[in-house]
């Protein structure tokens, strides 16, 4: 495979070379001065509830961009940077699959341009400055009993979920924790920032703990803002790469959608909308997580709105939601398929709550029976929802031309609808959580544990007017990962809540969701190998 020089990719997008900061031959940073008023349309890519059988949002996003390019439409996928946690954990690389990938794959899946490492360094610098303030004292007088700022690492490591720091006679001994870098509030602040000045404001607002009087202590109180901004200044610039067919792609930022807001950076999306006819961005996991947060958090903050939501589904995933086991998901089973369509319906109904049109992209697997594809087509047509096959994994952009044509027909000459959010920002935080749980998850209501109730009352009094970012399992519409399909007759339980003042939202923690994942029984890391010529193999699932 021969990749184009990144300067040629930049020229195709209409970027000035003066705004390009190459990192080698095939990737580059783009100066923020290249971002202007949006002219292009935005397509939000989401999916049904994730399953072990796989859905392929990134593959479809890349294939759609390549298909549109073949039709003469300038299109740019805006994707998140892969975290080393999933790369070496259970999922493998995050650059698409088959003949629908962004390149250079190996570089993107590993260190790329250093953005995630910069986020980790800035986050941990603040943690070190907090402990330094505890050791020497200072004007902020943070109470060691109420330090809330963790440390981060971009590797899954369950042994670091709860730790004790300050042993050995140096520093203040206290209980602490590690989170994965993708869950860092610094990552969320970077991805939602509109400029370097805005990033500094967000960094200064980061709450690291409380003093003895119960008042919040921030990064600005510690004096960390400028040093953190210095570490993040280059990471704030979007990353330009290319699809496997040579079209432009932007890969920037990497928050998870189950424990953060799950979207690539606002700056990358605005850059794509400035220069392309269509920007294609995805929200992590199913629409109930990344999709809802894309709209209620990212689009609200950035002042942008999609023209269409594309929901990715596969026959195998639908049958899994219909009750079959993973190993049998590829077998013909129309009864399970019809039962699993309830999960698709739930997500389509949730999209309707935002007043947005939806289209279903059926990500085709080899051997998918035509009769089962017809079942999904008929079901969607009965709902008045358009459906198109995507064969991008096997055939690249050519396999997505039909989907691309349907998408362009739907949005090309149509103005995007007016933004409609699930809740008003002046609603209370329990009311916002209730709106998400009942209108998106299908819950009967919300139960607040004592810690959650107290925290939300404090946030309503001291930090009102922020959106809510729900942290919950991605395996179910409910907060119980064992409930497949479209659960009914359930309530969700909020066990705690955290203020992410720097990111600009309140996090509601549901169930037993972990902010530091563990490695599986057979980590993907065990399949990675380096050949004698330095070529790295095994980063992608199934490679």
The sign one gets for the Cα dihedral 521, 525, 528, 532 is negative
Domain boundary among 206, 228, 250: 228
Q: Find where tokens 């993907």 sit.
A: 524
Q: Tell me what the pLDDT averaged over the chain comes to.
A: 95
CA dist 447 and 495 (Å) reads 9
Q: Which of 194, 228, 262 is the last residue of a domain?
A: 228
Residues 6+ apart with CB under 8 A from 60: 45, 100, 310, 312, 361, 363, 390, 392, 400, 403
pLDDT value at residue 326: 83
Q: What is the pLDDT of residue 542?
A: 64
The HSE-up count of residue 55 (CA atoms within 13 Å, CB side) is 28
Same domain, 91 and 193: no
Question: Do 250 and 207 belong to one domain?
Answer: no
215 domain-assigned: yes
What's 455's domain CATH number? Answer: 3.10.410.10
Neighbouring C-beta atoms of residue 324, cutoff 10 Å: 22
Which CATH number characterizes residue 202's domain? 3.30.1510.10
| Same domain flag for 138 and 223 | yes
Same domain, 244 and 276: yes
Q: Are residues 372 and 321 in the same domain?
A: yes
Instruction: Check whether residue 352 and residue 403 sit in a common domain.
Output: yes
Is 524 within the bounds of a domain? no
CATH number at residue 244: 3.40.50.300
Spans in the chain with pLDDT lower than 50 = none
pLDDT value at residue 139 = 77
Q: Do both 315 and 351 map to the same domain?
A: yes
Instruction: Specify whether 180 is located in the same domain as 259.
Output: no
Question: What percent of the chain has a predicted confidence (pLDDT) above 90?
Answer: 90
Under 8 Å between Cβ of 236 and 193: yes
Q: Is 77 exposed, middle or buried (0-12, 13-18, 19+ CB in 10 A)?
A: buried
487-526 exposure pattern, b = at least 16 Cβ within 10 A, e = fewer: beebebbbbbbbbbbbbbbbbbbbbebbbbbebeeeebbe
Residue 137 lies in a domain: yes
Pair (190, 278) in one structural domain: no
What phi and psi, each to the nearest 5 degrees, are found at residue 266? Answer: -60, -35
Domain assignment present for 27: no
Are residues 254 and 370 located together in one domain of the fold? yes
Query: The domain containing residue 499 runs over which residues?
Result: 429-510
**DSSP one-letter string for 66-85:** HHHHHTT--EEEEEPPPPHH
Residue 534 in domain: no
Summarised one tens digit per residue, pLDDT across range 219-268 is 999 999 999 999 999 999 999 999 999 999 999 998 888 888 999 999 99
Asked if residue 321 and residue 245 are part of one domain, the reply reads yes
Cα distance between the two ends of the chain: 17
Whether residues 127 and 83 fall in one domain: no
For the chain, how many structural domains are there in total?
A: 3
- Indicate whether 206 belongs to any domain: yes
- Does a structural domain hold residue 304? yes
Q: Which of 228, 263, 291 is the last residue of a domain?
A: 228
Q: Would residue 541 count as lying in a domain? A: no
């Amino acid at each position: 495979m021969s990749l184009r020089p990144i300067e040629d990719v930049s020229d195709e997008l209409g970027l000035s070379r003066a705004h390009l900061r190459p990192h080698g031959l095939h990737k580059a940073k783009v100066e923020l001065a290249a971002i202007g008023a949006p002219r292009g349309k935005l397509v939000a890519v989401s999916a049904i509830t994730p399953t072990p059988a796989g859905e392929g949002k990134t593959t479809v996003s890349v294939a759609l961009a390549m298909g549109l390019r073949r039709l003469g439409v300038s299109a740019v996928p805006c994707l998140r940077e892969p975290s080393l946690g999933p790369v070496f954990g259970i999922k493998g690389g995050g650059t698409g699959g088959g003949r629908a990938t962004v390149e250079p794959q190996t570089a993107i899946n590993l260190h790329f341009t250093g953005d995630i490492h910069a986020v980790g360094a800035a986050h941990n610098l603040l943690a070190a400055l907090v402990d330094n303030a505890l050791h020497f004292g200072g004007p902020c007088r943070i109470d060691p009993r109420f330090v809330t700022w963790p440390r981060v690492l971009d590797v899954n490591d369950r042994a670091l979920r709860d730790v004790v720091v300050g042993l050995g006679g140096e520093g203040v001994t206290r209980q602490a924790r590690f989170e994965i870098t993708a869950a860092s509030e610094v990552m969320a602040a970077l991805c939602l920032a509109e400029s370097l000045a805005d990033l500094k404001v967000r960094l200064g607002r980061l709450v690291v703990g409380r003093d003895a009087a119960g008042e919040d202590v921030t990064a600005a109180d510690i004096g960390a803002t400028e040093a953190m901004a210095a570490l993040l200044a280059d990471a704030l610039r979007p990353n330009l790469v290319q699809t496997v067919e040579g079209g432009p792609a932007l890969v920037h930022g990497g928050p998870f959608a189950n424990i953060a807001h799950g979207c690539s950076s606002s700056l990358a999306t605005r850059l794509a909308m400035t220069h392309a006819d269509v920007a294609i961005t995805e929200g992590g996991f199913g629409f109930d997580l990344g999709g809802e947060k894309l709209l209620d958090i990212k689009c609200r903050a950035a002042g942008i709105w999609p023209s269409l939501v594309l929901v990715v589904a596969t026959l195998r995933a639908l049958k899994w939601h219909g009750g079959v086991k993973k190993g049998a998901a590829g077998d013909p089973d129309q009864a399970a398929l019809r039962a699993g369509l309830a999960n698709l319906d739930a997500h389509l109904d949730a999209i309707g709550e935002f007043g947005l049109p939806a289209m279903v992209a059926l990500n085709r697997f080899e051997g998918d029976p035509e009769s089962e594809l017809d079942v999904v087509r008929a079901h969607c047509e009965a709902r008045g929802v358009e459906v198109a096959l995507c064969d991008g994994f096997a055939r690249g952009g050519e396999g997505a031309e039909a989907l691309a044509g349907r998408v362009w027909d739907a949005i090309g000459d149509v103005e995007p609808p007016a933004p409609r959010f699930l809740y008003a920002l002046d609603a209370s935080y329990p009311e916002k959580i209730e709106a998400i749980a009942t209108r998106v998850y299908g819950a009967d209501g919300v139960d607040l544990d004592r810690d959650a109730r107290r925290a939300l009352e404090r946030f309503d009094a001291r930090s009102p007017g922020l959106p809510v970012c729900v942290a919950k399992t991605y395996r179910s519409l409910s907060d119980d990962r064992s409930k497949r399909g479209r659960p009914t007759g359930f309530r969700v339980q909020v066990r705690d809540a955290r203020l992410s003042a720097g990111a600009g939202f309140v996090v509601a923690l549901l169930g037993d969701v972990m902010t530091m994942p563990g490695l599986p029984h057979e980590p993907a890391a065990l399949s990675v190998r380096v050949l004698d010529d330095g070529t790295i193999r095994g980063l992608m699932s199934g490679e």
